[in-house]
């Protein structure tokens, strides 16, 4: 069983959207997936609402607190899940717990400079834990290309080659209890999620990131 943790130390960077999109992509690839909302003081209401609207039995969706995570993971192993995706709330304790158990860590980040402040501490934390990881740029639109380059994030982190663009279909699909790929299978969002999933699958299989290979 592999564990992918989706973390940031800033809210609203697209963690839940990325986590549920990847969970559905992994299922389409034949994997049995458990999606866990890791919360510090409340249940992961966003994932919960999505799962209720969705009405499907899969992917399985649960919520727990950082101190319950090890037991939750042991339970997931017993159940025979292939992949656990952790949608982690912003907070040092839950992020540290989720990084510690992860096989791969994904750090969604918006380009807007204020949001980088959430990515850099998460990147540092993941590096200290020596975990394979990558930053994925979210809410991206082409006019941000220059700003992204100027941020110089690639000096300290692997950046996913695929960017999650700013698309209203992410919002609409969430409201419909679907992933973007289910909601608009022929659209660009479905293609970028599929590409992100393939990238993570390779990294989980041991392919080094650009920085770790250097
Ligand atoms: N690429 C995108 N384009 C447009 N809207 C997006 C995109 N990604 C996410 N959203 C929307 O932005 C909002 C915030 O996204 P999301 O809930 O995934 O962020 P989060 O990091 O999980 O937030 P929180 O820190 O509150 O848990 C949601 O309404 C979501 O549908
Ligand atoms: Mg969230």
- Is any atom of ligand 1 closer than 6 Å to the C-beta of 14? yes
> For residues 79 and 76, what is the distance between their CA atoms, to the nearest angstrom?
5
Average pLDDT over residues 11-28: 96
pLDDT of res. 113: 63
139-162 burial, b at 16+ Cβ within 10 Å, e below that, comes to bbeeebeeebeebebeeebbbbeb
Neighbours of ion ligand 2 (CB under 5 A): 15-16, 46
- Is any atom of ligand 1 closer than 6 Å to the C-beta of 164? yes
Average pLDDT over residues 107-123: 82
Ligand nearest to the CA of 8: 1
Q: What is the DSSP letter of 159?
A: B
Which mutation among 166, 171, 188 tests ligand 1's pocket best, with the greatest number of atoms within 8 A of CB?
171
**Among the atoms of ligand 1, which is closest to the Cα of residue 164?**
1
Q: Name which of 66, 64, 71 is nearest 98 in CA terms.
A: 66
Q: What is the DSSP letter of 68?
A: G
Q: Name which of 150, 143, 137 is nearest 111 in CA terms.
A: 137
**Among the atoms of ligand 1, which is closest to the Cα of residue 87?**
22
CATH numbers and ranges of domains, the chain = 2-204 (3.40.50.300)
pLDDT of res. 51: 94
> For residues 141 and 162, what is the distance between their CA atoms, to the nearest angstrom?
12
- Is any atom of ligand 1 closer than 6 Å to the C-beta of 12? yes
pLDDT of res. 98: 97
Question: Please, how many CA atoms are within 13 Å of residue 49, restricted to the half-sphere of its CB?
Answer: 9
User: Going along the chain, which residue ranges are E strands?
Assistant: 2-6, 33-39, 60-65, 83-88, 104-110, 133-138
> Residue 178: pLDDT band by 50, 70, 90 thresholds?
very high
Reply yes or no on whether the pLDDT at 211 is more than 80.
Answer: no
- Is any atom of ligand 1 closer than 6 Å to the C-beta of 110? no
- Is any atom of ligand 1 closer than 6 Å to the C-beta of 172? no
> For residues 33 and 30, what is the distance between their CA atoms, to the nearest angstrom?
9
**Among the atoms of ligand 1, which is closest to the Cα of residue 18?**
18
Q: Cα Rg for the chain, rounded, in angstroms?
A: 16
Reply yes or no on whether the pLDDT at 180 is more than 90.
Answer: yes
Average pLDDT over residues 109-130: 84
> Residue 130: pLDDT band by 50, 70, 90 thresholds?
very high
Residues 138-173 have pLDDT tens digits of 999 988 888 888 777 888 889 999 999 999 999 999
Omega within 30 of 0 (cis) for the link into 59: yes
Between CA 127 and CA 129, with CA 128 as vertex, the angle to 5 degrees is: 90
**Among the atoms of ligand 1, which is closest to the Cα of residue 189?**
1
3-state DSSP assignment of residue 39 = strand
CA 6 – ligand 1 centroid, Å:
13
pLDDT of res. 144: 84
- Is any atom of ligand 1 closer than 6 Å to the C-beta of 173? no
pLDDT of res. 149: 80
pLDDT of res. 214: 46
Q: Global pTM?
A: 0.95
């Amino acid at each position: 069983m592999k564990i992918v943790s989706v973390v940031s130390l800033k809210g609203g960077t697209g963690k839940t959207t990325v986590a549920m999109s990847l969970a559905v992509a992994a299922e389409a690839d034949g994997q049995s997936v458990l999606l866990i909302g890791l919360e510090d003081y409340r249940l992961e209401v966003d994932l919960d609402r999505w799962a209720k609207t969705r009405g499907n039995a899969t992917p399985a969706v649960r919520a727990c607190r950082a101190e319950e995570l090890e037991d939750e993971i042991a339970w997931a192993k017993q159940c025979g899940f292939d992949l656990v995706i952790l949608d982690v709330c912003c907070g040092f304790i839950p992020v540290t717990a989720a990084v510690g158990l992860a096989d791969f860590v994904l750090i969604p980040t918006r380009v807007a400079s204020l949001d980088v402040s959430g990515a850099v501490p998460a990147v540092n934390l993941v590096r200290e834990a020596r975990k394979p990881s990558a930053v994925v740029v979210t809410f991206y639109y082409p006019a941000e290309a220059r700003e992204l380059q100027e941020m110089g994030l690639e000096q300290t982190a692997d950046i996913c080659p695929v960017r999650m663009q700013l698309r209203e279909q992410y919002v609409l699909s969430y409201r419909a209890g679907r992933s973007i790929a289910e909601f608009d299978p022929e659209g660009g969002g479905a293609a970028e999620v599929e590409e992100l999933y393939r990238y993570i699958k390779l990294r989980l299989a041991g392919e080094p990131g650009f920085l770790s290979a250097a």
